[in-house]
Amino acid sequence: MASRTRGWLAIAAVVATGLLLTFAVQERYHHRVLTLVFLWAAMGLAWNIISGYAGQISFGHQVFFGIGAYVTVLLVVKAGLTPWVGMVVAVGVAVLAAVLIGIPTFRLAGIYFGLATLAYPLIFRIVMDWLGYQEVAIPMKREQPGWFMQFNEPRSFDLLALGVLAATLALSRVIETSRLGYRLRAIRENEQAAEAMGVDGFRCKMAAYMLSAAPAAVVGAVYIHAILFIVTPEAVFGLLVISQTLVVSLVGGAGTLWGPLIGAALMVPVSEILDTTVGDRLPGIQGVVYGAALMLIMLYAPEGLYWRVRQAVRSRAGRGGEAARSVIVAPPADDAVASAPTQTVLLQARGVSKAFIGLQALSDVSFDVREREILGVIGPNGAGKTTLFNVLNGFLIPDRGEVRFLGQPVTGLRPSALCRRGVGRTFQVARTFPHLTVLENVMVGAFARDAAVSRARVAAMAALARMGLADRAEAFPGGLTTLELRLMELARCLATAPRLVLLDEPLAGLSADGIDVMIAMIRRVRAGGVTVVIIEHTMQALLRLADRLIVLDQGRRLAEGAPGQVTQDPGVIEAYLGKRWLARLAAR
Amino acid sequence: MRPLSRTTIVVLTLALVAPALFIRPAPAAEDVKIALVAPLSGRWARQGQLKKMGAEMAIEEINSQGGIKALGGAKIVLREGDAGDSVEKAVSAAQRLLTREKISAGIGSWLSSFTLGVTEVAERLQVPWLSLSYADSITERGFKYTFQTSPVSSLQAEQALELVTDVARRNNRPIKKAAIVGDNTAATVFFFKPLREKLLAAKGIELVVDEVWTPPLADATAIVQKLRTTQPDIMFYGGTNFPDSIQVLQKIKEFSVKTPIQGVGAWLVTPEYVKTVGKELLDNIQTVVAAHPLKGQEDLVKKFVQRTGEPFMTQDPLCTYAHVWLIKEAIEQAKSADPKAIRDALAKIDLSSGPATSAFYPARVKFDERGRRVGAAPLIVQWQGGEPFTVVPAAVATRPLAWHK
């Protein structure tokens, strides 16, 4: 709660400083620089929503800037509509464009998304040229300058730009502290893990894209009226717009609302100062100096100034203050009661087959998972265990066969949809959201059940406490041990309130003590009424834990039954140890 | 010695000061500052530099001839602003120049989109602004402080076509088929549009090739192939971007296409063309410009060539040279360096001789209520032996037009 008010206070302080500067500055040119700082900060913030929070780097964000500019100006020119209303129309058009661009483009991941976004402003440039809008001047309205955003007083533009900045800051702040913000950051950090935690990646990214298109359009509209006075395709859809946006965001630091603000407050005046001092005597040299400054920042603060400074401050504050860490010990067995498996079938796999080019990873695998049991899926390396898991929770679609959960067919559902139905999972190699704290990692899971941040925080804290990680809540995953990471993943999975959890090799890489802790925790999970399916290739530990085992070999179900029974199965022994061992065993 | 009485002192003082009170005192010869906002860095830096050369030459002449007489021999000083390669920079430069110091008048900014932005600033700050840009829109906004000395694009197309068809007819080579080849930058688009929509049809000319590209041009082969197969009598050519233009011209050379080339703009008469495509090909090229040295300006050109080392003088330095002189004349008439007074003087000015009119055809400077120069008409410049000469209209031509074989 305290940090929440602090965030708003900081925004208020920024706006107050902006106001102060607006009224302190006298010279017209200085007003212009101030307007530019506000506008580029706002543009950087708009970009930051999709590219900073959600990590979907957009190299074509000027498309919305340009749409804002063109729509507003054309409405003034063709229909005499005031830009105040035109801007609203422009926002609508930009958001619509974001949807139309997003539908095909979000199919691409990572850098391919970024490259694809480059195309859209180019298309708009060509279309504008084709329509004959090479240079559109704003008709001067001498009678109603305010109504047509043609103030003679430069201060008015400062205030307008500051208003846009304040609104974009507020929007960023709301996103940052909402469920969407957490989900976007989770997507940025690890999209698959986010999907498994019930985050619908496509919808979240689309929401972020629409939210970032809106302020970009407003900035474009105001920029034309305050700075350029004319629109040309080059000026609004050109590379200069996106490079300036990237400069302020990356210098300041992406992924936080302070980054673009710092970047704009620094780089815009630097560029103008260089223009006025060296640029007048040696035209062009300002570009060289600016580029050099940019390179220095990229070399010494590649994540951006905000993160660099924060890191420095934190490491100074944190020195010697490392809290004594409690060692997690196995909790007392508390699962004796009410943990016997029932006969209800929770999950049903029927004839599941999956082939990867030439390799039959799964062929005709069928089995049932009963409520509240701990089912172990074992098999040697390459037996198809992880493929089976990926089919069960929607990461892969089987070639044949069907999976039913609670009697409903779930084959082909997205992992996020399955998660919301109550299937949670952990990964073979822990997939964390490294820039989120342990608590925030788990909150991403909790959001699958509750959109309210405060309640999700409570639920996440409870899940952490159950896994014995309460005192690590504020740490970052980078500082956790392997055991703690696995417990965090388990807590994150539990926070989604699943009925069934799929654990992919939860014991891999743990020490003997660690395995004890993990086994106790998994029992505790089951004691909470959750059914558990575990993949392991070390049979030893699983024999202690599982009620029932399924053995896979070369994509086929080899055996199924109680642990004692399965280990006696000749087929299983052969698969694990080879024919010669089996012969020796028989001879004994 | 008896000290001077108080009365004596008063009388003496009055005697000394009186002339200053009764005779209008010569104003203190404070420098008059003129702004030049042009691209001095980036893609169009060369054009900006040429403009600067023209302005500096005019200022040197004015100052060495005793400065502005109406202001007691005040000297003119130039304040340059780098428009760089974006409208934002151009507008920033204008705003900076016009608010930092008391600027009496401004010139610029070459590219019409820059000029559109810069004149907004000048209008708001009430500083008169002279421009050679062609775009019609510059003087369609009802601005009071913007003065456009070049014929606007729409008129240029009409007048140029008139000139060309007339010359062709007189040479017994009537134009029946025409080609339009060019990029889609603003200046070119606004030139081609009226040709395509009405002017050609009105003259009974068939448009056989219409090829427009967005720079950069990938390959000119297809375009030149079309020219070869359709054999137009003239090709209207707008390749404002130097590398694109060179590509088209080299292909034309390679395919031995003999179609006469009628360029649309001064970009086609830069010295760089001689080096890149050679004199022979250039002899097939003429272009419409707003200004070029005319008959009787040989001394001016010679002086410019000696000063700068440029091989010849073109539209950019010539116009800027004249703009500075024009501002000087306006100040003389206004008897003030106040921008508003200069604006009023420019609005009323009617000159038909002197360096201020030298760059313009016809040689008269009078602005209409929109700020357009009355009667402004384009010229045709033709490459001959590796140098561009004004060939049309004949009255001011420095060489006769050589009709292509």
Min Cα distance A31 → chain B (Å) is 10
Do both A212 and A350 map to the same domain? no
Min Cα distance A281 → chain B (Å) is 9
Q: What is the pLDDT of residue A433?
A: 94
Quick one: pLDDT band at residue B27, thresholds 50, 70, 90? very low
- Please give the Cα distance from B54 to B58 (Å, whole number): 6
**Is the pLDDT at A401 greater than 70, yes or no?**
yes
Task: Tell me whether residue A538 is in a domain.
Answer: yes
- Please give the Cα distance from B22 to B50 (Å, whole number): 47
Task: Tell me whether residue A122 is in a domain.
Answer: yes
Q: Which residue has the higher pLDDT, B108 or A322?
A: B108
Q: Is residue A477 reached through a cis peptide bond, with omega within 30 degrees of 0 on the bond before it? A: no
Q: Copy the structure tokens of residue A308.
A: 């660099």
Closest CB to B135 among A28, A32, A135: A135
Q: What is the pLDDT of residue B13?
A: 56
Closest CB to B186 among A134, A229, A280: A134
ipTM of the complex: 0.81
Q: What is the pLDDT of residue A588?
A: 64
Cβ atoms of B81 and B39 closer than 8 Å: no
Average pLDDT, chain B: 89
A28 Cβ under 8 Å from any chain B Cβ: yes
Closest CB to A275 among B92, B116, B184: B92
Min Cα distance A149 → chain B (Å) is 14
What are the tens digits of pLDDT across the range A376-387?
998 888 888 889
Across the A/B interface, how many CB contacts are shorter than 8 Å?
96
What b-and-e string marks burial along A129-141, b requiring 16 or more CB atoms within 10 Å of the CB? beeebbbbbbebb
Which chain B residues are closer than 8 Å to A139 by Cβ?
141-142
A287 Cβ under 8 Å from any chain B Cβ: yes
Which chain A residues are closer than 8 Å to B189 by Cβ?
129, 132, 134
Asked which of A202, A221, A239 is the last residue of a domain, the reply is: A239
- Residue A560's SS3 state is strand
DSSP A27-72: SHHHHHHHHHHHHHHHHHHHHIIIIIIS----TTTHHHHHHHHHHH
Task: Tell me whether residue A514 is in a domain.
Answer: yes
- Please give the Cα distance from A35 to A268 (Å, whole number): 10
Closest CB to B141 among A29, A139, A235: A139
Q: Copy the structure tokens of residue B184.
A: 């889609």
Q: What is the pLDDT of residue A469?
A: 92
Which chain B residues are closer than 8 Å to A126 by Cβ?
214
A560: region left, alpha or beta (phi > 0 left; psi from -120 to 50 alpha): beta
Task: Tell me whether residue A123 is in a domain.
Answer: yes
Quick one: pLDDT band at residue A295, thresholds 50, 70, 90? confident
Specify the CATH number for the domain of residue A510: 3.40.50.300
Quick one: pLDDT band at residue B23, thresholds 50, 70, 90? very low
Q: What is the pLDDT of residue A326?
A: 61
Q: Per mean pLDDT, which range of A163-172, A213-222, B164-173, B325-334 is the poorest?
A: B164-173
Q: What is the pLDDT of residue A327?
A: 67
B335: region left, alpha or beta (phi > 0 left; psi from -120 to 50 alpha): left
Do both A224 and A372 map to the same domain? no
What are the tens digits of pLDDT across the range B193-202?
999 999 999 9
**B32-151+295-374: which CATH topology?**
Rossmann fold (3.40.50)
Q: Per mean pLDDT, which range of A76-90, A256-270, B18-32, B225-239 is the poorest?
A: B18-32
What are the tens digits of pLDDT across the range B249-300?
999 999 999 899 999 999 999 888 998 888 888 988 999 999 999 998 999 9
Quick one: pLDDT band at residue B1, thresholds 50, 70, 90? very low
State mean pLDDT over A329-336: 60
> What H or E segment, with its residue span, contains residue A173?
helix A154-176
Do both A413 and A553 map to the same domain? yes
Q: Are A132 and B189 inside 8 Å of each other by CB?
A: yes
Q: What is the pLDDT of residue B43?
A: 79
Q: Are A129 and B189 inside 8 Å of each other by CB?
A: yes
Asked which of A214, A239, A264 is the last residue of a domain, the reply is: A239
**Is the pLDDT at B22 greater than 50, yes or no?**
no
What are the tens digits of pLDDT across the range A14-61?
999 999 999 999 888 899 999 999 999 999 999 999 999 999 999 999
Alpha helices (H) in A224-336, listed in sequence order: 233-237, 239-252, 258-281, 285-300, 305-318
Q: Which residue has the higher pLDDT, A63 or B141?
A: A63
Quick one: pLDDT band at residue A321, thresholds 50, 70, 90? very low
Closest CB to B99 among A27, A130, A283: A27
Domain of residue A366, residue span: 345-422+498-587
Q: What is the pLDDT of residue B24?
A: 45
What are the tens digits of pLDDT across the range A45-56?
999 999 999 999
Cβ atoms of A60 and A242 closer than 8 Å: yes
Highest mean pLDDT among A126-140, A208-222, A253-267, B351-365: A208-222
- Please give the Cα distance from A276 to B81 (Å, whole number): 9
Q: Copy the structure tokens of residue A472.
A: 């690590």
What are the tens digits of pLDDT across the range A92-119?
999 999 999 999 999 998 889 999 999 9
Cβ atoms of A380 and A573 closer than 8 Å: no
**Is the pLDDT at B3 greater than 60, yes or no?**
no
Min Cα distance A127 → chain B (Å) is 11
From the centroid of its chain, how far is CA A507?
A: 27
Q: What is the pLDDT of residue B20?
A: 47
Cβ atoms of B355 and B92 closer than 8 Å: no
Which chain A residues are closer than 8 Å to B89 by Cβ?
275
A129 Cβ under 8 Å from any chain B Cβ: yes
Q: Are A135 and B116 inside 8 Å of each other by CB?
A: yes
Domains contained in chain A, number: 2
Q: What residue of B is the nearest CA neighbor of A135?
A: B113
What are the tens digits of pLDDT across the range A507-527?
888 888 899 999 999 999 999
DSSP B81-109: EE-TTSHHHHHHHHHHHHHHS---EEEE-
Q: What is the pLDDT of residue A320?
A: 45
Quick one: pLDDT band at residue B26, thresholds 50, 70, 90? very low
What are the tens digits of pLDDT across the range B5-17?
666 665 655 555 5
Give the residue numbers in B contacting A (CB under 8 Å), as ranges. Answer: 40-42, 45, 48, 80-82, 84, 86-89, 91-93, 95-96, 99-100, 112-113, 116-117, 120-121, 123-125, 135, 137, 140-143, 184-186, 189-190, 193, 214
**Is the pLDDT at A580 greater than 80, yes or no?**
no
Interface test with A, best of B184, B196, B213, B370 (most A CBs within 10 A): B184
Quick one: pLDDT band at residue A260, thresholds 50, 70, 90? very high
Closest CB to A227 among B88, B137, B186: B88
Q: Are A275 and B124 inside 8 Å of each other by CB?
A: no
Q: What residue of A is the nearest CA neighbor of B185?
A: A134
Min Cα distance B143 → chain A (Å) is 8
What are the tens digits of pLDDT across the range A127-174?
998 888 988 988 888 888 899 999 888 899 999 999 999 999 999 999
Cβ atoms of A416 and A200 closer than 8 Å: yes
Segments making up each domain of chain B, as ranges: 32-151+295-374, 154-289+380-396
Longest Cα–Cα distance of chain B, Å, equals 107
Q: What is the pLDDT of residue B44?
A: 85
Q: Are A132 and B82 inside 8 Å of each other by CB?
A: no
What are the tens digits of pLDDT across the range B63-101?
999 999 999 999 999 999 999 888 999 999 999 999 988
Q: Are A140 and B142 inside 8 Å of each other by CB?
A: yes
- Residues 430-489 of chain A with CB under 8 A from chain B are none
Asked which of A223, A239, A255 is the last residue of a domain, the reply is: A239
Q: What is the pLDDT of residue B17?
A: 53
Do both A233 and A375 map to the same domain? no
- Please give the Cα distance from B332 to B329 (Å, whole number): 5
What are the tens digits of pLDDT across the range B109-163?
998 889 999 999 999 999 999 999 998 889 998 999 999 999 998 888 998 899 8
Task: Tell me whether residue A6 is in a domain.
Answer: yes
Task: Tell me whether residue A181 is in a domain.
Answer: yes
State mean pLDDT over B188-212: 92
Task: Tell me whether residue A214 is in a domain.
Answer: yes
CA-closest candidate to residue A500, choices A572, A405, A365: A405
Q: Are B142 and A287 inside 8 Å of each other by CB?
A: no
Q: What is the pLDDT of residue B280?
A: 85
**Is the pLDDT at A578 greater than 90, yes or no?**
no
Please state the pTM of the whole predicted model.
0.87
Q: What residue of B is the nearest CA neighbor of A122?
A: B214
Q: What is the pLDDT of residue A181?
A: 95
Q: What is the pLDDT of residue A319?
A: 52
The correct CATH number of B154-289+380-396 out of 3.30.930.10, 3.30.70.2740, 3.40.50.2300, 3.40.190.10 is: 3.40.50.2300
